[in-house]
Structure 1
């Protein structure tokens, strides 16, 4: 038995990974844990949010250029898809970091736990606004959250105590002050953290501003959540995949179209796009950072601590991401659209991240 494990260890060391070995079968036969060996050329694998991906990619390129480690691989899967991949297991071939544009859900933590992943480090990296953007030259929009809900919800109050299928075809149908422009919104799919945040902050926030819908929250919270966050699927909303660049292209082709995206993508395309005002506030760096812009959120990445001895460089990558020249007010990530945490938050998050304190360990 010992000789078998020794041979496997040598095989892993030579090959960096072991596509020919069924580790689960070895574990079942020997009772010993799977054997992994770190290889110096093993790349950090990062999955998850399309909104956070540009920041991770920039840090990865910088890290690869200045360190002894290879440049990490960043894959855009959406926040939900990222956690699904992240929670598959422990090992050098598994993702070590998952980007997220919302906090991890309890169900995702449980998925990880079932795969033996019990030490997850949460790092909040900054803020982002969710914007409703359209092409420059298209009509200006100043929307309330309630108007967003009334435009995009699958069902809305019928005015007689019941519910009806959303009848609104144009923005002017929703409110007289809005342009007579067809409702046509391109947005991220259900696997996206941007979609989750939009549903919670804009749709649910708008539902709470409508008395008939808000009253439902008091009597049936589950039904309220369903009514508030279920987006109409009659052609007025189009899932555009985990690619904000594709949404930008759609907006350029159709001046009537509106796109849901993170502020960073708007900021990178200000020569072509403009963002709708939300309740009189425009989506700018300053307004989001101050908390005045009404559809904003925190962004995160999550580290699989159990992969630290298996994939070289993870701690160095985390250190590079959380140093002031990267995520500070004058750091290179701000140029990519990151809205920094406060100085106090940055210091606390960096110390927490460098200490690799798993979620729940300091509570």
Structure 2
């Protein structure tokens, strides 16, 4: 009788553990940056076609949103890789570490941030200072910080179009927003004595706060949607990555910023002053549990993908210099742990 009970218990144990195996993933899950999304998707599709592994699932959640999902924990309910259009923050790294995650960082190349509008309208030529005056929540007027009074571009400078200021841009969760604020808004804020004289917290608050009166519109993480809206409204400008401008060059043109046009060679050389690095991050604890992660990293960092003549360049990626690319390839494929 006891033997029979033990046998039943053993069978019950097997039945109870079966769903856990059924729920195990056999497909890589990737989240994160909308800017890196088209590159990651291209690699995922090539990976699915050329290997025996399933095509990874790639979701566009924004850099910040992707980091939250990625760093939340270890296990098949959490993503394996997150894309980012900015470097992982120290606070995010600390969250990952606290949750038992060892991170490998892979810098994949460069991208420019552009302000673009429909080709049916004139091309803008702007300084960072003019962009700040158009988009900041508060601006200096007669030595005092006031709520932004400018409704038309020509009010900022008579050389600019006499058109309403309407700029579609990414939300705060976006790495593009982070980089735009750092590379444009902060740099321009330094040019105003009224803002530069503020303490660190005050400076950051003024430099980072975008206006909320309709001149700046948070258009979500879908850059393709911004492109569609710009076609429908030629007066408006949109903020997004160079790759989307490159893919829509028949419909849009990028604004000249500080006298430099957003072109491939000028971003690669650093001449265009609104450019940033692109990354993805790998959760080492999932390697060997979720099939194909190491092989996916190898595909992404192969010369046929991210090299100077690789298929990602056709998508608008600006590759790392040869020596940097070789060093990053070795570190990525060796799953070197990130430290901060």
Q: TM-score range by the shorter chain?
A: over 0.9
- Quick check: 1:90 aligned with 2:74? yes
Question: How high is the TM-score relative to the length of structure 1?
Answer: 0.88
Determine the C-alpha separation between the residues in 1 that align with 2:16 and 2:78.
18
Match of 1:63 among 27, 47, 54: 47
- Quick check: 1:104 aligned with 2:113? no
Q: CA deviation at 1:68?
A: 1.3
Q: CA deviation at 1:8?
A: 8.6
Q: How does 1:43-54 map to 2 (within 5 A)?
A: 43-54=27-38
Alignment check: 8 A CA contact 2:140 2:192 kept: no
Determine the C-alpha separation between the residues in 1 that align with 2:263 and 2:296.
29
Q: CA deviation at 1:116?
A: 2.1
Runs of 4+ off more than 4 Å: 6-10
Match of 1:232 among 195, 211, 216: 211
Q: 1:15 maps to what in 2?
A: 22
Q: 1:24 maps to what in 2?
A: none
SS at match of 1:315: helix
Q: 1:26 maps to what in 2?
A: none
Determine the C-alpha separation between the residues in 2 that align with 1:212 and 1:177.
25
Alignment check: 8 A CA contact 1:146 1:206 kept: yes
Q: 2:325 maps to what in 1?
A: 346
Match of 1:151 among 134, 147, 151: 134
Alignment check: 8 A CA contact 1:91 1:310 kept: no
Question: How high is the TM-score relative to the length of structure 2?
Answer: 0.93
Determine the C-alpha separation between the residues in 2 that align with 1:355 and 1:114.
23
Q: 1:171 maps to what in 2?
A: 153
Q: 1:127 maps to what in 2?
A: 110
Query: What's the Cα RMSD here?
Result: 1.8
SS at match of 1:359: coil
Match of 1:183 among 152, 157, 165: 165
Deviations 1:3-57 (CA, angstroms, capped at 9, x unpaired): 79x849953674143xxxxxxxxxxxxxxxxxxxxx6xx1000000000010000
Q: How does 1:1-363 map to 2 (within 5 A)?
A: 7=14, 11=18, 14-17=21-24, 42-117=26-101, 119-160=102-143, 162-216=144-198, 220-360=199-339
SS at match of 1:335: helix
Alignment check: 8 A CA contact 1:45 1:95 kept: yes
Q: 2:4 maps to what in 1?
A: none
Q: CA deviation at 1:210?
A: 2.6
Alignment check: 8 A CA contact 1:47 1:75 kept: yes
SS at match of 2:179: helix
Determine the C-alpha separation between the residues in 2 that align with 1:299 and 1:138.
30
Q: CA deviation at 1:159?
A: 2.1
Determine the C-alpha separation between the residues in 2 that align with 1:138 and 1:334.
28
Determine the C-alpha separation between the residues in 2 that align with 1:94 and 1:305.
13
Q: CA deviation at 1:240?
A: 0.7
- Judged with a 3 Å threshold, the aligned counterparts in structure 2 of structure 1 residues 309 and 156 are, in CA distance, closer, same or farther, namely same
Quick check: 287-296 or 105-114, which moved more?
A: 105-114
Residues matched between the structures, number? 331
Deviations 1:167-189 (CA, angstroms, capped at 9, x unpaired): 01111111121111110000111
Q: CA deviation at 1:76?
A: 0.5
Q: 2:3 maps to what in 1?
A: none
SS at match of 1:99: strand
Which runs of no fewer than 5 residues in structure 2 stay unpaired?
1-9
